Structure 1
């Protein structure tokens, strides 16, 4: 099993070393220490950090990451379900924004306030 320093693990993951230290401090990451107290990242710790990184990149906060990685599957699933619902709502809002903005590009009215369709979009927001 390979062992990495915090710097080597951070470089492999493409993050700064202070990020890994912070994740450990808040409980999102478990890292072994050597006799001198230096952090040692074995393959499991690097993989755990990779999971934290992926969960952060899909929008989970650190408290949500910790809950999503909890040993109790029900708690983890609840966090993931809530994030899916939030992302689905965001997708709906984004699609509505695209429709509105696309209309403003094609609108034949000089001012958006003069357009009944634009006014309808504004009332729906």
Structure 2
């Protein structure tokens, strides 16, 4: 019998006998988790995991009752998908990154995601610069500061006149 796996960040993994569709219907001992357990572990709503499944990002096996049963490999995959989504990767690029057979397709997907992430990092740095300036500004009202206004004007674009 397999021993339960103890997770540092959660309870014992559920030990159940399930039927795996890819195993010819033969019950196998498995450490599997329900969609609710996985969703809670990552702070997601179960619908998010269902959407990812519909988009082809996840394909958890089902038990004899048709319920999804997530395994350790699915846990890893959810973590990768979540990080990629947080970085701004498109669903299509995540799917290509994880499942494309050709290394060139995977590489292209990662390059596209990298470009998006670089842009997001630049935008976050600009926002941080604005906050830092506002915190250190000598003006009683930082929004009246010409330097702060020029930082904001850069976000607005051409044709903006600073308030007086």
1:18 aligns with 2:47: yes
> Quick one: higher RCO (CA 8 Å, sep 6+), 1 or 2?
1
**Structure-to-structure mapping, 1:1-125, within 5 angstroms:** 1-71=30-100, 72-91=102-121
Richer in helix (by share): 1
Structure 1 vs Structure 2 CA RMSD: 3.0
Whole-angstrom distance in 1 between the partners of 2:46 and 2:130: 43
Name the residue aligned to 2:12: none
CA drift at 1:70:
2.0
What TM-score do you get using the length of structure 2 for normalisation? 0.55
Gaps of 5+ in 1: 116-120
SS of the counterpart of 2:69? strand
Gaps of 5+ in 2: 1-29, 139-143, 158-164
**Count of residue correspondences:** 118
What TM-score do you get using the length of structure 1 for normalisation? 0.70
SS of the counterpart of 2:99? coil
CA drift at 1:58:
1.0
Decide whether aligned partners of structure 1 residues 17 and 78 sit closer, same or farther in structure 2, where only a CA change above 3 A counts. same
Whole-angstrom distance in 1 between the partners of 2:78 and 2:123: 32
